[in-house]
Amino acid sequence: MVRTKKAYLLMVSVVMIFIVYVLYHNFVQDPQAAEFLHLKTDLKRTLHVDAWLTVMRIHVVFACLSMVAGAANFSAWIRMKYPKLHRMIGYLYLMCVLIVVVTSGYMAPYATGGKASSMAFNLLNIIWAAFTIVAIVKIKKKQVLSHRKWMTRSYAFVFTNLAIHLLTSLFHGGFGLAYTDSYKIAVYGSIVLLIFLAELVIRIVYKKA
């Protein structure tokens, strides 16, 4: 129990630090996303920057909210003492995930790395939405343990952006691959990595359940 609590606090710390970084980078340091946009080459369709920026900002805000809502609902204290609040936060999380998926779907055709990356993002969106909906269905059927496992799988995908950045840095900075190729590998790799980590957490946390 103590180890689980420490792991939870570590996760919350990572979430809060990452959210501060993301909000600062996207709304203060580089609000026009100039650093990211200059990496988008050979696009097959016209990128309307103003519209893209608006969608990207909505995407960022609701992605951060999904991180907070999901983290809050993994709190045993909230779940046990305030079940109605837990339920409300759960629906907030679902709403955030769906908004993130829709906005990601808009941005996918303009993804760095072209069609290969676009396909990966669309696959990722389908998986994340599916995992989240399954989690909701499970709790509606009073299958609490199954609900928690599917929520773990869903919540893993709030770390997609972090995983992509880390893997891109590994392949580009570590192995010297071109940035575009590194990014494409990272998007696909993040799907595999996040599912693997979710299953690992499930085996560790729920092994006695």
Secondary structure of 104-160 in HEC code, one letter for each residue? HHHHHHHCCCCHHHHHHHHHHHHHHHHHHHHHHHHHHCCCHHHHHHHHHHHHHHHHH
CA proximity to 59, closest of 103, 29, 96: 103
Q: How many angstroms separate the CA atoms of 69 and 138, rounded?
A: 19
pLDDT tens sequence across 55-104? 999 999 999 999 999 999 999 999 999 999 999 999 999 999 999 999 99
pLDDT at 63: 98
Name the average pLDDT for the chain: 93
- pLDDT value at 43 more than 80: no
pTM (whole model) above 0.95: no
- The structure tokens 């409300």 sit at 88
The label of the residue with tokens 């103590």 reads 2
